[in-house]
Amino acid sequence: MEQFPIIQIIDEEGNVVLPEYREKLTKELVMTMYYHLIRTRTFDRKCVSLQRQGRIGTYAPYEGQEASQVGSALALENDDWLFPTYRDHGATMTFGHSLVRILLYWKGRNEGCVPPDGKKIFPPSVPIATQLPHAAGAAYAEKRKGTKNAVIVYFGDGATSEGDFHEGLNIASVFHVPAVFFNQNNQYAISVPITRQMKTKTIAQKALAYDIPGIRVDGNDIFAVYFETKKALDRARNGEGPTLIEAVTWRYGAHTTADDPTKYRDQEESKRRRERDPIVRVERFLKQIGWWDEQQIKEMQEKVQAEIEQAVAEMEQFPEANPADMFDFVFATPTWTIEQQKQMYTSWRERA
């Protein structure tokens, strides 16, 4: 624990505890961060409500983890790669994913796996930790191509128990690739608390095994997340290899809307943790420093609401899924079996 101290730039009261960062916290940067924080939270709550109304399917909420996701995604450059899990759409939307497409994903549509043009956002990994080797490979490719682009890959505390965690980090380390392994330690893998997941006190210390930097940040402090991720990305771009970042955070709600957290933990803990909420913390900072402007905040909230309502409307007006799509994209050229099955199914539907 002493070897991997938790890095914090603002404390829970919104005080800057590392004064050397004070000047770097420009009004523009902080207001951008705050905007994305409320945008991601509003979107997440909207999705939970859409699921309850049966307008989308099972949904994985991230409320509580916004500082980790927004802070890290804002540190990226436009041409970087992002490999998310199913709980990281707070990061992907901040990095430029389309809200409509994220909504379509949760509505059971492949369109949700297609990023906007020019955005290197991989489809969310649904199995655990399988995206880590992909990130190592994509970063290797950037290195071979001689670019300055970096790769960020997201994963949770439970993912560190999978073989792919080790294999991905090891390959990244051996090949010395420009990748940032961004762990959101929200302390529960569905029902299993981190103390039952691993005996190590930190996730950051696992970096020692790969001889790469291991950084532990307060994942509810967006400033710490942003600056530490930026440093790691800079190292990556400068040929200094991969970094493992552990952002310590908390998911307030359920694993997914199909999960009932009261079965395995005291949800009072989630209530208590709202005192350390990543958004409240920035609000306290803004108020202390005198940048809190009711009118501006209100406009920001209205803008976010309108954008989200517009995205929901577009999701609901989106043309129905085309059954031909399930046949047409399996191979570049469909095999005869797929052609035959498509033909049989199409004529069956026309007949009916």
Partner 1 sequence: MTTTVKTNTLTLVQAVTDALRTMLREREDVLVLGEDVGKNGGVFRATDGLQAEFGEDRVIDTPLSEAGFTGAAIGMAVNGFRPVVEIQFLGFIYPAYEQIMTHAARIRSRTLGHFTVPMVIRAPYGAGVRAPEIHSDSTEALFTHMPGMKVVCPSTPYDAKGLLIAAIEDPDPVLFLEPMRCYRAFREEVPEGKYTIEIGKGKRVREGEDVTVIAWGAMVPVAMKAAEEAAKKGINADVIDLRTLYPLDRELIVESVQKTGRTVIVQEAHATGGVANDLIALINDECFLYQKAPVERVTGFDVPVPFFSLEDHYLPTPERVLYAIEKAVAF
Give the interface with partner 1 as residue ranges (CB under 8 A): 57-58, 86, 106-110, 112, 126-128, 158-159, 161-164, 189-192, 196-198, 256, 258-259, 263-264, 320-321, 323, 325-327, 330, 335, 337-338, 341-342, 345, 348, 352
**CB 44 to partner 1: min, Å:** 16
Q: Which is nearer to partner 1, 83 or 106 (CB)?
A: 106
Contacts of 43 (CB under 8 A, 6+ apart): 89, 90, 93, 99, 102, 304, 308
- Minimum separation from the CB atom of position 352 to partner 1 (A): 7
Give the nearer residue to partner 1 in terms of CB position, either 21 or 327: 327
- Give min distance, CB of 228 to partner 1, in A: 25
Residue 121 Cβ, how far from partner 1 at the closest point, in Å?
16
DSSP codes joined into one string, 278-306: HHHHHHHHHHHHT---HHHHHHHHHHHHH
Q: Which of 52, 144, 264, 272 is catalytic?
A: 264
Rounded Cα distance between 102 and 98, Å, is 6
Q: Toward partner 1, which CB reaches closer, 264 or 303?
A: 264
Nearer to partner 1, 99 or 222 (CB): 99
- Taking the complex as a whole, the smallest distance from the CB of residue 55 to partner 1 amounts, in Å, to 12
Please tell me the number of Cα atoms within 13 Å of 337 on its side-chain side.
2
- Residue 252: DSSP 8-state: -
State how far the Cα of 261 lies from the Cα of 304, in Å rounded to an integer.
29
- HSE-CB at 13 with a 13 A cutoff on CA atoms is 4
Residue among 145 and 263 whose Cβ is closer to partner 1: 263
Give the angle 325-85-328 at the CA atoms, nearest 5°: 10
Pick the catalytic residue from 41, 87, 109, 255: 255
Spot the catalytic one: 216, 235, 251, 281.
251
Name the one residue in this structure whose structure tokens are 């199914």.
345
* 86 in active site: no
* Known catalytic residue at 251: yes
Active site residues: 251, 255, 264
